[in-house]
Structure 1
Amino acid sequence: MEIKIPEKVAKLLSIIESNYEAFIVGGCVRDSIIGREPNDWDICTNAKPEEVLELFENHGFRVIPTGLKHGTITVVFDDEHYEVTTYRVDSKYTDGRHPDVVTFTSRLEDDLSRRDFTINAMAYSVLRGLVDPFNGVQHITEKRIVAVGSASERYQEDALRMMRAVRFASQLGFEIGGTALTQISMNALMIKNISWERVRDELNKILVSDDPDSGILLLQLTGLLKLLLPELCESVGFNQYNPNHNMNVFDHILSVIKNTPPNLKTRLAALFHDIAKPRTFTKDESGIGHFYNHAIVGMDMSKEIMQRLKYDNQLISDVGILVKEHMNRHKNVKLIVAKKFIGRVGEDNIQDLFDLMVADTLGSKPPYDYSDVDDLKRLCESVINEEQPLRVKDLVINGTDLMSLGYKQSKELGYCLNELLELVLESPELNTKEELLMIAKRKLL
């Protein structure tokens, strides 16, 4: 088997191979065999970290001792970073993430034996070919994710590997084979030992994968979801008792996720858009289910969950807006309604919201009609293309201008600016300094 290695990586390998062994290893080998473009090209070697440092410094490279204690250094090649790690074997993982002691070894097979899954435990070099001691190629052919050695031991070393198994399944379209799957359920409680930041990063990769709905379903079936997103588990099997829906809430959410573009913001919004339905459920006298204010309650829930998972404030705010606004669909929308809609949602979120609305329709009972979304989208695009004023900040005057007329720096000033905006939304031609100051002055009298 031959793998095409990029020129820079081949150069780094050749430098090491002048004195030592060197292989590309892990995900880049897996992806190359599958036919995917690798994100990173990691290198492993029998050279000790200090020897690797000296070798590349002697060749004029900038070298960063990234994780010297664990045998990893980073070589900077034309501003690109490449990790080079010494073969190693690990001791116990008392903290459930890092080995207590790292021992360097001269045998590549020893290093590969400590890795999580067989598809990630392969190495390759042009000189020595493919090294695959755990049948990774066979498992790629079978589309199975199999643990290296004991699945339970691999998960106990680092509980995040359970989420990684789910992530690889959703990214690659593979099944989690045998004990690699059953041992997730057996060891699920250990996920509580993992930081929210690491959990978040794996969740993100699942959500933007080719098969995100199956990834979320696997999290639920293995018991991981109730430990990470217990609020979402409230929707599992929840009957909507509504003629517009032919799925329970959880299955509907999975369908919406599947039908959104692979954009993290949109897929997070899809994950949370109906999360509040179980908490807002009521039945009318006819037995029809309703979920009044579920979008607003869902916005609050999404913010709370995303704060727990340590997302940044901007993404929390944007996802909250999409969740809150996903039900605001009306036929024959007037121009001023569209303007206010854009002002609330923001131009950076508007396409994501339309994508969510369409996916929401596709996750409901057929026939699918999202003509109202298309009409609103066309109207909004027209407003945006004409660069019409939509928010207070788009007015040609500001608070300082109003204070020069005698307004105090108080709520009165804010009220006036909002009233001026309402007028400009109706009549954009009023957005001149002369007109707005004249209107504001009259309001003072």
Structure 2
Amino acid sequence: MDAKLEQAAGAASVPAPALNGTRPSAGALAVLAALEGAGLEAWIVGGWVRDALLGAPSHDVDICCAGSWQENEAALEAAGIRVVESGVRFGGIAAIAGGERIEVTSYRLDGFYTDGRHPESVQRARTVEEDLARRDFTVNAMAWHPERGLLDCFDGAGDLARRQIRAVGEPRRRFEEDALRMLRAVRFACRLDFSMDPATAEALAACAPLLDAVARERVGWELDGILATGRGGDALLHYPELMCAAIPELAACRGFDQHSRYHAFDVYEHTARVLTVAGELSLSRVDGAGPDTAPSPSLMWAALLHDVEKPACFTLDERGNGHFYGHPERSAEAARAIMGRLACPGALVRDACLLIRYHDRPLEAERTDLLRMMGRLSGSGLDTVRLMNELLDLKRADTLGKAPSCFYYVEDIERMREMVRELVANREPYSTSTLDLSGRDLIEAGVKPGRQVGALLSRALDAAIDGVVPNARAELLAYLGL
């Protein structure tokens, strides 16, 4: 380490004041010391301040500084801190200190937003207060310094205490500047389990059409973040205009009466309830991975889109009962198009669409039925056991989103889950790859390479699933007459 950096790190290692019991990292303090040692006022801003006040695990550190990016870079390099020139167009660089990447940005004022996403120009601001005034939400518009303390011009700390998300200044102006902020507002509200300030919520609904100007992959990234909180159902229920602007196909589901004794809610509210239950169960220590682990993305996307084509499949019989024949298959096709448009990863699209396709297929707590379903969820790159459990999760959430008369099925689903565990533990086959018999075994037994090998493996698999023969190589060969 450079001698100057050692000196800065040494000064930073002296116990520094903490914000709500959270201390900045040694690297962050070294960067602060280097900037201010060069006469450049600097503050820690943004997520780290918010999370420290919440008593949450510390966020990546961002620093805002009075110097230009060139002055900031010179000050850091003089202290022996490596700099990466990233975002210099907006006055930003990255400092690498103590193995940590710390973003350093000059005080700035944004010019006009001509594309609803990026400022046309960026100007230097004279003070940190001016910089904080351009930020999105009050909980993100606070600054802190180990010696000068907390700078909170917009009562962000008060909003944290009130558990609400509120735009800085005029909400509509904030969203007109950058329409993606609307989804960010919802993501923060879901992640923190906060409500939305009434004026900000009103602006969300009014400005929702502005989302059309945002690149679809950015919309997809924010939607994925909302779903990852496990509270995507809240987003659907509380911010329907925005969610339907993000995924226009959802709009047809709003208020769509299912005309069914099995459903107590319209298609949209049913979807929200399914998403809520799936998220809650995934965050449960008993049934899911626990509150510190994000829910499965494939399960969340499947819950969101599992009934998206129901309105298009609706028919009404002579008794006034609604039917949605073919909606799982059509919803899977629609989900593939929607998720592709939103630039979701291919493996995620594949898994979510499989869950959607089979979510409504009748399934019983019976060995053969379960193995056949596991076979449908098997193939190259597929985690069959995970997908089977997620399918059962989706079925359970779907059941609990219906009328109370359907809730009995939850017990059957949990019985199926236990049976799946036993089937896997007992090495019961559900695909040719899980057979205790391979193509090489057949060839060694005298079968000529070609289609006959695959046909014999399929025959052996059917027999093993039906319980005609055990999943053991010798017995399978004998069953095939080899």
The two structures share one fold, judged by TM-score above 0.5:
yes
Indicate the larger mover: 339-348 or 377-386: 339-348
Look up the match of 2:319. 286
Cα distance in 1 for partners of 2:469, 2:215 equals: 50
Q: Does 1:132 align with 2:131?
A: no
Look up the match of 1:86. 106
Look up the match of 1:217. 237
Choose the corresponding residue for 2:131, options 90, 105, 111: 111
Change (3 A) 1:336 1:35: same
Counting matched residue pairs gives 437
Structure 1 residues 23-75: Cα deviation after superposition (integer angstroms, max 9, x where no partner): 11112222222333343221111132223333333444443212122122222
Change (3 A) 1:197 1:282: same
Look up the match of 2:371. 339
Q: Does 1:357 align with 2:376?
A: no
Question: Which amino acid letter does the alignment assign opposite residue 265 of structure 1?
Answer: S
Structure 1 residues 309-368: Cα deviation after superposition (integer angstroms, max 9, x where no partner): 1111111111111112222344441x2222222222311212222222221222122252
Question: Which amino acid letter does the alignment assign opposite residue 37 of structure 2?
Answer: S
Choose the corresponding residue for 2:360, options 285, 305, 327: 327
Indicate the larger mover: 152-161 or 394-403: 394-403
In the TM superposition, 1:204-353 aligns within 5 A as 204-209=224-229, 211-220=231-240, 223-260=241-278, 261=282, 262-333=295-366, 335-345=367-377, 346-353=384-391
Given the two structures, how large is their TM-score scaled by the length of structure 1? 0.89
The RMSD of aligned alpha carbons is 2.6
Choose the corresponding residue for 1:423, options 463, 468, 475: 463
Partner SS, residue 264 of structure 2: coil
Choose the corresponding residue for 2:65, options 22, 27, 45: 45
2:165–2:196 CA contact under 8 A, matched in 1: yes
Structure 1, gaps ≥5 residues long: none
Change (3 A) 1:331 1:400: closer
Given the two structures, how large is their TM-score scaled by the length of structure 2? 0.83
Change (3 A) 1:389 1:54: farther
Change (3 A) 1:67 1:435: same
Change (3 A) 1:339 1:140: same
Indicate the larger mover: 275-284 or 81-90: 275-284
Partner SS, residue 271 of structure 2: helix
Indicate the larger mover: 77-86 or 380-389: 77-86
Q: Does 1:155 align with 2:175?
A: yes
In the TM superposition, 1:335-414 aligns within 5 A as 335-345=367-377, 346-367=384-405, 368-369=407-408, 370-399=410-439, 405=446, 407=448, 409-410=450-451, 413-414=453-454
Partner SS, residue 84 of structure 1: strand
1:53–1:73 CA contact under 8 A, matched in 2: yes
Change (3 A) 1:353 1:76: farther
Question: Which amino acid letter does the alignment assign opposite residue 186 of structure 1?
Answer: A
1:172–1:210 CA contact under 8 A, matched in 2: no
Change (3 A) 1:332 1:138: closer
Partner SS, residue 154 of structure 2: coil
Cα distance in 2 for partners of 1:70, 1:342 equals: 51
Partner SS, residue 44 of structure 2: strand
Cα distance in 2 for partners of 1:327, 1:178 equals: 38
Structure 1 residues 264-316: Cα deviation after superposition (integer angstroms, max 9, x where no partner): 22221111122222222223332222222222222112111111111111111
Query: How much does 1:109 deviate?
Result: 1.0
Query: How much does 1:85 deviate?
Result: 1.2
